[in-house]
């Protein structure tokens, strides 16, 4: 009997050990290589000083913060909150553009979609006139409709929570780094703490006002480290995520705000602030 018990314990121990050895099949930079992105070499700076010079005109002055916020799909007072928190924490972050149609839903305090919701947000131009009010809410569509195409029966394509409520845009982080340019590793304790602080300081929304969470996941540039941290063999990597993004709105440790309309502008911003290019990005100069 005792021998049988020992055999059982040994089998369980081996099973648990094997479980611990199960890792994501796509962990190396080469295996996680993103799609080819061709960038114009003539628009890229040759050194750090030149990079800083080439983005000077992209810095946003404080009177233009509301305009920059609208272009980025961020509420104006949320922009001020993010800027203040980034200065307090001495960080650098960039945020991808959100759908501008989300503004009324963000103001009303509707919840933002999480990283598990990959479907697209309705845009005004793709909706029939009587359904324009759906613009800014999340659909069940995997892809955006082709330009000029109007969605038939959009009510049947609404994404609703279990409670029957619609979702709206989130604020997609592209990059997160220390003031010296060192990127903050995705899913690290520091990453989670920074995201919590950025959300905590956002203005409350709704009636009655309640806290909102707009930053729903880590930075896109840290997607590979997210996969490595989660070690989930059942999660298929979305390699299209591993690429630079634009347009972006950027916040720095000294309170500067930038609008980066092109990928080359983002790459110059990284060089200016001594931020490395993720190994998984597949860039080709032309």
Q: What is the pLDDT of residue 7?
A: 53
* 63 vs 236: which has the higher pLDDT: 63
Q: How far is CA 182 from the centre of its chain?
A: 18
- Partner residues linked to 209 by β-bridges: none
pLDDT digits (tens, 9 = 90+) for 2-21: 445 445 544 444 444 444 44
pLDDT digits (tens, 9 = 90+) for 22-44: 445 457 999 999 999 999 999 99
* 144 vs 88: which has the higher pLDDT: 88
> Which of 9-18, 89-98, 182-191 is predicted least confidently?
9-18
State mean pLDDT over 271-282.
98
Name the average pLDDT for the chain.
91
* 233 vs 10: which has the higher pLDDT: 233
What percent of the chain clears pLDDT 90, i.e. is strictly above it? Answer: 83
State mean pLDDT over 119-135.
94
pLDDT digits (tens, 9 = 90+) for 62-84: 999 999 999 999 999 999 999 99
**Does residue 241 have a pLDDT over 50?**
yes
pLDDT digits (tens, 9 = 90+) for 187-217: 999 999 999 999 999 999 999 999 999 999 9
Distances (CA, A) of 92 to 49, 134, 222, 260, 266: 18, 34, 14, 14, 13
């Amino acid at each position: 009997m005792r021998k049988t018990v020992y055999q059982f314990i040994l089998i369980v121990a081996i099973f648990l050990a094997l479980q611990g050895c199960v890792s994501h099949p796509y962990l190396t930079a080469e295996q996680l290589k993103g799609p080819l992105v061709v960038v114009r070499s003539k628009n890229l700076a040759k050194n750090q000083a030149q990079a800083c010079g080439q983005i000077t005109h992209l810095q946003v002055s404080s009177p233009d913060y509301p305009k920059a916020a609208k272009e980025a799909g961020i509420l104006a007072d949320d922009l001020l909150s993010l800027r203040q928190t980034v200065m307090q924490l001495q960080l650098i972050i960039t945020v991808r553009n959100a759908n501008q149609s989300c503004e009324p839903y963000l103001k009303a305090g509707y919840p933002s979609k999480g990283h598990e919701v990959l479907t697209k947000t309705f845009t005004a131009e793709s909706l029939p006139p009587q359904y324009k009010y759906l613009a800014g809410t999340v659909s069940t569509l995997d892809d955006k409709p082709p330009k000029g195409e109007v969605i038939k029966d959009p009510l049947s394509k609404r994404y609703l929570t279990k409670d029957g409520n619609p979702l709206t845009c989130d604020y997609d982080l592209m990059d997160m780094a220390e003031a010296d340019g060192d990127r903050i590793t995705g899913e690290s304790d520091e990453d989670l703490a920074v995201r919590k602080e950025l959300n905590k300081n956002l203005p409350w929304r709704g009636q009655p006002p309640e806290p909102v969470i707009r930053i729903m996941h880590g930075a896109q540039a840290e997607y590979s480290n997210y996969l490595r941290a989660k070690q989930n063999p059942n999660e298929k990597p979305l390699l299209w995520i591993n690429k630079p993004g634009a347009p972006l709105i950027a916040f720095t440790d000294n309170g500067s705000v930038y609008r980066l309309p092109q990928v080359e502008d983002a790459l110059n911003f990284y060089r200016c602030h001594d931020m490395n290019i993720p190994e998984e990005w597949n860039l080709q100069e032309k």
